[in-house]
Amino acid sequence: MSELHHLTAQEQWDLLHRGELTPSELTEHYLARIERLDAELGAFITVTPDAARQRARTLEQAVPKSAPLWGLPFGDKDLTMRTGVRTTYGSRLFENFVPTESDEMAQVLDAAGGVSLGKTNTPEFGMTGYTESAVAPPARNPYDLTLGAGGSSGGAATAVAAGLLPFAPASDGGGSIRIPASSTGLVGVKPSRGLVPAASGVDKFAGLAVGGPIARTVADAAMLLDAMVAAGPYPFALRAPVSADGPLLGAAIRGEGRFQLGVMTTSPWDDALDIRLDPAVVESLELATSELDALGHGLEQIALEPSDYPELFTTIWQASAVTVPADGDELELLQPLSRWLVERGRRLPARDILLALSAASRFERSVIRQFSRFDAVLTPTLALLPQPIGWYDQIDGQRNFNQQVQVGPFTSFVNVSGLPAITLPVHQTEAGIPVGVQLIGRPGGEATLLAIGAQLERRIQWQRRHPAAWNQ
């Protein structure tokens, strides 16, 4: 029999339900891997072995197997509060903070029967597309430990790619699921605004940040997403409610359909910054296009109309830091970039913020209109390959922002538009570094994205690629 982490989350779930594996045995397997490997990977900020073992025993004794994630381990992103577990938000401001209640997402995953093993690494308040904070070692890319894993869900991606977790919940306010998933050879789904009740984005500034899954396969991602969605009720009627029997998982398993796809290599940032595609990124898009054409999908080159997107998003990103709970001497505890963001955001006139939010609403309608004749739009996930640890400027905030955009110019506009997107690990460089492509769907179009992803997965078999840590 293969090592347990060699199995997909679906296969592990099947063993649990047949009684050939217990939640305690699976929990011990992953805890042992974390203890053995995570010191050099930086996937976790906090590990909770005692609580995980107790949770597994409780599942075995008192929780019905009908719970959709029964017995499957996961890690909470360290932006999610869990009762009695240190929650740092990646910041020295909260380095020793232990909450007395759990956030809704933690409660949802518990109700689904999952077993939390601890807190996965994230940058300060999740505000950057790389995971290097002042409270923990950086999240490293398992395919090359000198490279970063991306962010802000970098710890979650590192854990899943290295076989420390079968899948992981994450969040995405400007690419924070898709950037690390692409960097580490995984599938990552950023859902439509409003789809996941506990992390809908509706209650977040500008509606940007939503919750979604990171996994090794399309079906595993759909399985976790179904559990997130099924909790209900919906903040508003995005589409017919997703029922608890897993319709998104069904779409991912069947992988059916022929669709009309746009293909886009330009981004809304092209006129504002020097955006260049790494040759390996071009190769990954060409490979995806070739495979999709062979599958019978219609393909058409497109580009977005010129817009004021760079100005509106820059204002929104800075304004999003206004509520960071730091004043006076507490500002000195923040990392330089975070402090710069807070100070810039707090100097913004209210008029500028309101104008940016209004412009974002117009941009959202414009993108949906321009994409409306397609079932999905294909882009690179990132423009550049994963960067070395320490590459991003930690002092000059504007330069840091520009660097993040130059790496990931295709992700944040999807959040502003409220659309679903999936990153798929279609390619690897000669050095073995993963390269992903992104599919952007219609509002509520997750099933289409999963179906297309499943078709590509069957042809490319990316789930067979693993970093060195996989066999350790």
For residue 78, which of 27, 28, 124 has the smallest C-alpha distance?
124
Catalytic residue list contains 77: yes
**Do the Cβ atoms of 283 and 245 come closer than 8 Å?**
no
Percentage of the chain lying above the pLDDT 90 cut: 95
**Nearby residues of 299 by Cβ (< 8 Å), 6 or more positions away:** 261, 262, 263, 289, 292, 293, 378
Tens digit of pLDDT for each residue in 93-126?
Answer: 999 999 999 999 999 999 999 999 999 999 999 9
pLDDT reported for residue 244: 39
3-state secondary structure of 371: helix
pLDDT at 73: 98
Distance CA 251, CA 425 (A): 19
| Among 91, 176, 267, 284, the one annotated catalytic | 176
Please report the domains of the chain, with CATH numbers, ordered by start residue.
4-471 (3.90.1300.10)
Which whole number is the average pLDDT over 153-164? 98
How many Cβ atoms sit within 10 Å of the Cβ of residue 328? 6
Nearest C-alpha neighbor of 120 from the set 83, 84, 163, 152 = 152
Spell out the residues 6+ positions from residue 431 whose beta carbon is closer than 8 angstroms to its own: 144
Q: Quick one: tokens of 271?
A: 């006129």
Tell me how far CA of residue 351 lies from CA of 52, 316, 343, in angstroms: 48, 12, 17
Sheet holding 187-190, edge to edge: 167-172, 210-215, 187-190, 421-428, 434-441, 376-380, 260-263, 298-301
Catalytic residue among 102, 152, 183, 412: 152
- Greatest Cα-to-Cα distance within the chain, rounded to the nearest angstrom: 63
Both tokens assigned to 163:
């076989």
The pairing of strands 73-77 and 115-120 is parallel
Q: 3-state DSSP call for residue 77?
A: strand
pTM over 0.95: yes
Contact 332, 324 (CB under 8 A): no
State the burial class of residue 114 (Cβ atoms within 10 Å of its Cβ: 0-12, 13-18, 19+).
buried
pLDDT tens for residues 137-157?
999 999 999 999 999 999 999
Alpha-carbon span 323 to 72, nearest angstrom: 35
Residue 168: count other Cβ atoms within 10 Å of its Cβ.
Answer: 30
**397 neighbors 340 (Cβ within 8 angstroms):** yes
Answer yes or no: is pLDDT of 300 > 90: yes
Catalytic residue list contains 65: no
Lookup: tokens for 144: 């090359």
pLDDT number for residue 48: 98
Reported as a single tens digit per residue, the pLDDT across 170-205 is 999 999 999 999 999 999 999 999 999 999 999 999
Alpha carbon distance 439, 420 (integer Å): 8
Q: Where are the beta strands (DSSP E) in 287-443?
A: 298-301, 376-380, 421-428, 434-441
| 192 in catalytic set | no
Give the span between the Cα atoms of 52 and 193, in whole angstroms: 31
**Quick one: pLDDT at residue 230?**
86
Q: Alpha helices of 42-162 — where are they, by DSSP H?
A: 49-62, 104-111, 154-161
Q: What is the mean pLDDT of the chain?
A: 95
Q: Which two tokens mark 192? A: 């439509």
Q: Is the dihedral of CA 75, 81, 85, 86 positive or negative?
A: positive
The H or E element containing residue 210 is strand 210-215
What integer is the mean pLDDT of 279-289? 98
- Give the position of tokens 């940007």: 208
Q: Do 333 and 327 meet the contact criterion of CB atoms below 8 Å apart?
A: no
Q: Given phi > 0 = left and psi -120 to 50 = alpha, else beta, which region is 49?
A: alpha
Encoding tokens for residue 383?
């423009």
CB 163 within 8 A of CB 452: no
Buried b (16+ CB within 10 A) or exposed e, 202-219: eebbbbbbbbbbbbbbbb
Tokens of 363: 């941009």
Helix, strand and coil percent figures for the chain, each rounded to 5 = 45, 15, 40
The confidence score (pLDDT) of residue 242 equals 44
pLDDT in tens, 203-250: 999 999 999 999 999 999 999 999 999 866 554 444 444 443 458 999
